[in-house]
Structure 1
Amino acid sequence: MKLPAADADLFFKLMWGLQFYVNQQRGILPDIDSVEDYVALPMADKAQVRNALWENPALIDAYPAENPDGLSAEELEIIRKWKRFVAGTFYIFRYLKKHAIFISGEDAKVYGVLALYESLEDVLYGRRLPVMVQAVLLPFKGKIIYDGMLSGYNIFFGRGIRSSLNEEYMAAKQNERIITTLEPELAKPTRRRRKKPGKDWRPVVDELVEKAEKIKGGPAAQSAAFSLFRAGAKLAQAAAHNPDDLDELWKQERRVRTALSRLQTVLARAER
C-alpha cells in the first residue's frame, strides 16, 4: 500500500528539487539558497511553496526545460507528467492491500492511491475512516501517489455519508472504474479472468414464469403474495435472458416494488 523505499527516495528528490526551483522563481521564502536548506524547512513553510506550484502548473514545464539539477531524461519525464495532477477534496474511504481508496468530493471518481514512506493509516494516526482531506494526486511510475502533504478535517461522518461513499466505491469496483493510474499509456493490459460459463437457468426460469402466471386469486394477502411472486419470476427471467439490458431489468424491478407495496398495504390493513 506504499511505494518501495527507493521509489519514495526518488519521489522526494524530484519533488524537493522542483519546489526549491518554484521558491527561487517566486521568492516565497527568502534566504533559502540550496535544496538542502529547503528540505530542512518545517512542512508548514514548504506548504506555501507547494501551493504556489499547483497554482502555477506552467512551472512544471519550466523546471525540466532548464534542468538546473542535471536530472536524467527519465527523471525529467516523471516531473513533466505531474501536470496531470488531480487536486481537491477527497474522502479516504478504505485501506486495501494494493492501495488506499480515495473518493473525490467533487465528481465521486474513485482512485487507488499509494502512500510514500509511511502508510496512510500511520500518517492519519489510525483515525477512523472515512477521513476527509485536501490532497494532490500525482502519477508516478504508472501508479498514483499523493504529493506528500495532506490537510485533514476533524469531521465525524454519520451512517448516511458512509453509506453513500460505500455505494460509490462498490459501483466503481463492480464496473471496474477504480482509477489506479494517471498514465494510461503505461497501464498494463488487464487480464480478464475467464468466467466459467454458469448454468443456463433460462429453461427453468421460463417454466417457473409459465407456472407463476397460473397462480392467481384467493384471499387478499394470498393474491398480493402471488402477484409479487409473478413479478419476481419475470424479473428473474429478464436477468437470465438479457442481464445487460438494464432498461428491462429496471422496468421489471419497478413492477416488483409495486407488487411488494401492494402486499405491504394488504398486510397493514389486516392488522387494523
Structure 2
Amino acid sequence: MINNEVIIMLKLDISRFGDAIFIFIDEDNSGVLDFSEYVEALGKFCLLNKEDVLKLCFNVFDDDKNGTIEGEELENLLEMLHEDEQTSNMKHALNNFDFNGDGKIDFAEFKQLNAKFPSLFYPAYRIQQNMKNFTLGEKWWERKIEDLITEHNNKLAQHNDMSIEMQLVKEREKKIYAEQERQKVARERMGCMYYTCCPCRRKSYTTDRQEASDSDGEIEREKPKHEVVVKKNRKDGRKQIIVSVGPRKPLTHEERLERARKRRLRDMQDRPTRKD
C-alpha cells in the first residue's frame, strides 16, 4: 500500500504535512506502507491524545532528534506552515515565534505555537480523526482507549495493593523479631530455670535492647553532672546529696550467683571462730 492509496482511502488532502507523517510511520523507509506497518500506524496514531499528537508533529520536524528544531529543520517547518491558507498577519507572527530568542524551537515553544495558532497543526488531528472514522469507527477507538486506561489503573492499583501488603508483612516480621529479642533478654536476665518456671514474671524483665541502651546512654550523660555536684558540695562542706541517675537494671543469673557467693563469704567472716 503506497502513500497515495492510503490518502485516497482515508480521504485526506495531499499535503507536505501528511507526507511527513507517513514518512515518519514508514519505519523501513521503503516508500511503501505494508499491512503490518499500516496496522501498527493505526495503533500508534489512533490511540494518541492531543499532546501526544503534538509530540509526533514535533518529532516529524526534529530530524536529528536533539530535542530542538533549528537551522534547516526550522526553515522546513516555516516553509510548510507558510501555505496559501495562512493570512499575512499569521505569516508575520510565524517569522517571529522564537519565544526565548535562541534561534531554536523546543517542545515548550512548540506547544505555545499550537496554543496561539491552533489551525497550524489541524492536518495532524484531521488525519487521526479520519483514521478512526474509516477503519473501526470513532466509538470503537474511544472504548478501546477507555479499556486501556481502565487496565492501566487496575494494574497500578494492584501494584499499590501488593506494596501495601508487602509493607504489612515487613511490619509483622519486625514485630515478631522484636518480641523474640525481648524474650531473649528476659531469658538472659532471669536464667533458664526461673524463666521456665515463672512465665508470669517475664514481662518485668522484657525490655527492648534499644530502650536499655538509650537508658544506659542517658545514665552516662548524667554522670558528669553528678560528679560536678558532688565536688561542689565537698568544696562547700555540705553533706553529699545522692542523686538518682536512673533505675537499676535487673541482675543476670551470673550476677545473682556472684552476689550470693560474696554474701556467704561475708557471713563466714563475721561468724565467730569455734574453739576446741
Normalized per residue, which structure has more helix?
2
TM-score interval, smaller chain: under 0.3
TM-score with structure 2 setting the length: 0.21
Normalized per residue, which structure has more strand?
1
Larger radius of gyration: 2
TM-score with structure 1 setting the length: 0.21
